[in-house]
Amino acid sequence: MGFDGTSFESRLEAMLHEMQPAGVILFARNIESAQQTHALLSECRKAVSTPSFLCVDMEGGSVDRLKKITAPAPSAASVFASGRKPFFTRHGELIGAECNALGFNTDFAPTLDLSFANSRPILGSRAVSPDPAQVAAYASLFLRGLRKTGVLGCGKHFPGLGEATLDTHQELPAIEKPWEALWEQDLIPYRLLRRGLPFVMVGHASYPAVTGDKLPASISAKWMTEILRAKIGYRGLVISDDLEMGAVQATGPIEQTAVESIRAGADIVLVCHEEAMVRRAYAALVQEAERNAEFARRISHAAHRVLAFKKKKKELQQFSSRFSIALIEKLRHEMVSFTAVLEQHAQGKASMV
């Protein structure tokens, strides 16, 4: 769940105690300073009885929630363009170190969407290449960097937004691409990385040629249960993209989409902004479980999967109560230096052309 505000107020504390969510996600609106962010995450963690996913979207470039309190991180595309594999790992390591120093243990990155012409105006520098093997190579090394710093990563946006011509924050894209092409292109990164992704985030686009309907993948059993779990063999956690986004809201109220996402195979649903939406989604899940035995079994299975995952991941057990301004300054300097090296490398490549 997301929430408003930059401090641990009584209303937030009450919500966390009542709902005991899998975790929390912070956005720029929640992040005022390094020390404040660390303190907020520490308090959120204490209010939940199981280890919490303390989440942030940190890809670098246009998706950088920490740039005002550390230093702007370079985009995935600019790092990939260097062609230097050690840079790929270093990118993940630096972002992971920043996340860890502030108290985050989960980064919803990297993006595995392919960089096709259709989606380039929307995804921009978030997508690194139209070549799925190259996307997987970058992502694998970025994830290695995150792991080195004690941060979990997440592949997104399954099954792929590379052909999307609409922004899912506002509208639901219908991707008219045949199954064979999706399997041999967009799904390759998930197939290659299925054992190395702690999370897969399912996006809000429909694929009528595959499902025969206009439902977004985030509420589709065909995509989550039949393809991601059974055919690809993914065994990590499946999480929906934010259910407050326009693309999925167009299909029904949040009560419906929260229930249908879990029913279709998600282990966790993400509700990122309004308190009312968080409460409505939570209440709908509880009510459906109380009235429907089959759904109760499904939600119990998802909960057990999440709890088993939490128990075995050491990244979730470690949280330093000590905050270090000196460490933040060191990481800021390292990110600035890394960006400068990248720029020098890019200039050197350009001068050789």
What is the bridge-based pairing of β-strands 63-64 and 58-60? Answer: antiparallel
CA atoms within 13 A on the CB side of 207: 29
φ, ψ dihedrals at 14, nearest 5°: -65, -40
Residues in the chain: 353
Q: How far apart are CA 199 and CA 158, in angstroms?
A: 11
φ, ψ dihedrals at 212, nearest 5°: 75, 15
Q: Which residues contact 58 (CB under 8 A, 6 or more apart)?
A: 64, 65, 66, 73, 95, 98, 99, 104, 107, 108, 109
* Active site (catalytic) residues: 169, 241
Of 68, 133, 77, 76, the C-alpha closest to 107 is 76
Contact present, 169 and 246 (Cβ < 8 Å): yes
Token pair in block for residue 149: 């710093």
Cis omega (within 30 of 0) for bond into 157:
yes
